[in-house]
Chain A
């Protein structure tokens, strides 16, 4: 088991190292988040009340759009220099690679989400400090579900010609439960309601995360074969 975790960690470490040196994904994603903020503002008009009503939906729309870009790229780097073959030839259970890539995606999304929340706080004059722990729980559960499906489908579409088109077409209907659950739970949390109000949604998110993780872990080796 420890060798398994170590293999997963090596994948995370490798991706973080290459991201730290190239700054390929993170810079663009953060800039993309800023652009999203402008798009939302222009789409909704200058009234603040309107933004506040739509806030949970806007937040998750932002996360999903950023996720579409981030997750779709997960395995693209592995296509260069025959890295894909290296992954296929690596010893042991291949699902460790899946978990490593998944952890990397969750970390990346955590940064993007923190930046988006900060931007919302600054630009729309909102205050999340009181509800931050509860909000983090919702964000963690939602992001894990998105990333679990996104990482698996990212591996599937990495080898396709029309991957930019097919990836969202596959991912969006599959993560409908995550979107519904996260938006509803975020709504309840932002209104300052106790966590018990959103308990049903949190349980649904946790169940969905579990199902997606199990399917991902069990089927990843078939996807990796190329």
Chain B
């Protein structure tokens, strides 16, 4: 019941997010309507990081307690995490074409997001290849923990890699300080995405529980 209510709340918030992104937020002076992709792009990446944080939490929780519930949390967070990272990369790419003139560039943030995406796709592939629930949970937890511990290292290495080779960044200047309507729209959409993630995680955890019940 609580999960269903969360789902409706997420749906309402998403509708409000779309309404503010197209109705309330002003047309950006330099970039035009393309800038509105930001209302999808930024909440998606923030939500993805939250999801990977939950994977870490679930992984550590499982290794400490050996309760299958923690493993279900890790699985339930990893799947939407990968999806949201994918949305981040795809929406950034669509924004980059008209703004930077290219679909892809080996910019620091693009590259580290792509690496993050690959790490967790590997995590899900690994999960898919092990049948015994106990072993799958243990091994996946180890990969999940290493993956999260690696995020800051990947971040800095990629940042320095770009900084050392190409000091002049090709990133266009961001509109800063952000105008209030833009900030409000971002906030609404970020809230909506977070609610959506929580709903997906809750639902997926429940499905995983039923699957385990059915299998064992």
Question: In the complex, are the beta carbons of A169 and B153 less than 8 A apart?
Answer: no
Given contacts A166-B126, A166-B129, A219-B63, contact A176 B141 (CB under 8 A): no
A5 at the binding interface (Cβ < 8 Å): no
Report the interface size class on chain A.
20 to 34
Question: Residues of A contacting B138 with CB < 8 Å?
Answer: 222-223, 225
Question: In the complex, are the beta carbons of A212 and B146 less than 8 A apart?
Answer: yes
Given contacts A156-B143, A173-B118, A174-B147, contact A211 B125 (CB under 8 A): no
A208 at the binding interface (Cβ < 8 Å): yes
CB within 8 Å of A: which of B122-149? 122, 125-126, 129-130, 135, 138-139, 141-143, 145-147, 149
CB within 8 Å of B: which of A192-224? 200-201, 204, 207-208, 211-212, 215, 219, 222-223
Given contacts A152-B146, A180-B157, A219-B142, contact A173 B164 (CB under 8 A): no
Q: Which residues of B contact A (CB under 8 A)?
A: 63, 115, 118-119, 122, 125-126, 129-130, 135, 138-139, 141-143, 145-147, 149-150, 153-154, 156-158, 160-161, 164
Q: Which residues of A contact B (CB under 8 A)?
A: 149, 152-153, 156, 159-162, 166, 169-170, 172-174, 176-177, 180-181, 184, 200-201, 204, 207-208, 211-212, 215, 219, 222-223, 225-226
Could you jot down 22 A-B contacts, CB within 8 Å?
A: A149-B146, A156-B143, A166-B129, A169-B122, A170-B125, A173-B115, A173-B119, A174-B147, A176-B158, A180-B157, A180-B160, A180-B161, A181-B157, A204-B157, A204-B160, A208-B153, A215-B149, A219-B145, A219-B146, A222-B63, A222-B142, A225-B138
